[in-house]
């Protein structure tokens, strides 16, 4: 999945109230929980700060994300590359970096490393 056309300021709205540009997500979200940030077919144009990634920028970003995910799934911290420790929290797999703390939390059945 390419992130071309997604806003360069976007970051996870479940963890942040604002994007990197300081726009409050709630102010630009439309009914049906639609955000203007992502390049979806029914994208709403409600944000003045929307600045889409070009194909090249998106390809670079996607490659970085893929590498990060790959590191985490192979048991390394995505921040520093140190090996993470694996903990089992009642069926939930948690990987913890000695420097950066929790880097992943997920169900083993969701396709993570066995
Ligand atoms: Zn780390």
Buried b (16+ CB within 10 A) or exposed e, 25-42: beebbeeeeebbbeeeee
Tell me what the mean pLDDT of segment 4-10 comes to. 95
Ligand 1 centroid to Cα of residue 103, in Å, is 8
pTM (whole model) above 0.95: no
Ligand 1 centroid to Cα of residue 69, in Å, is 14
Q: What is the pLDDT of residues 58-102, one digit of tens each?
A: 999 999 989 988 998 899 998 899 999 999 888 888 999 999 999
* Dihedral, CA of residue 55, residue 10, residue 23 and residue 78, to nearest 10: -140
- Cβ < 5 A residues, ion ligand 1: 77, 79-80, 97, 99-100
Q: Order of strands across the sheet with 92-97?
A: 85-89, 92-97, 101-107
pLDDT, the chain, mean = 88
Ligand 1 centroid to Cα of residue 15, in Å, is 20
Tell me what the mean pLDDT of segment 17-34 comes to. 92
pLDDT at residue 113, rounded to an integer: 52
One-character DSSP codes across 68-87? HHHHHHTTB-TTT-PBPEEE
Ligand 1 centroid to Cα of residue 77, in Å, is 5
Ligand 1 centroid to Cα of residue 18, in Å, is 25
Ligand 1 centroid to Cα of residue 37, in Å, is 29
CA atoms within 13 A on the CB side of 55: 0
Q: What is the pLDDT of residues 36-58, one digit of tens each?
A: 999 988 899 999 999 999 999 99
Residue 11 has pLDDT above 80, yes or no: yes
């Amino acid at each position: 999945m390419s992130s071309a056309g997604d806003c360069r300021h976007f970051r996870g709205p479940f963890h942040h109230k604002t994007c990197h540009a300081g726009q409050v997500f709630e102010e630009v979200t439309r009914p049906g929980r639609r955000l203007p940030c992502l390049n979806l077919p029914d994208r709403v144009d409600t944000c003045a700060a929307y600045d889409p990634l070009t194909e090249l920028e998106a390809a670079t970003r996607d490659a970085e994300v893929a590498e990060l995910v790959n590191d985490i799934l192979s048991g390394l911290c995505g921040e520093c590359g140190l090996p993470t420790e694996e903990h089992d929290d009642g069926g939930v797999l948690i990987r913890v970096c000695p420097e950066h703390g929790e880097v992943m939390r997920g169900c083993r059945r969701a396709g993570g490393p066995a």
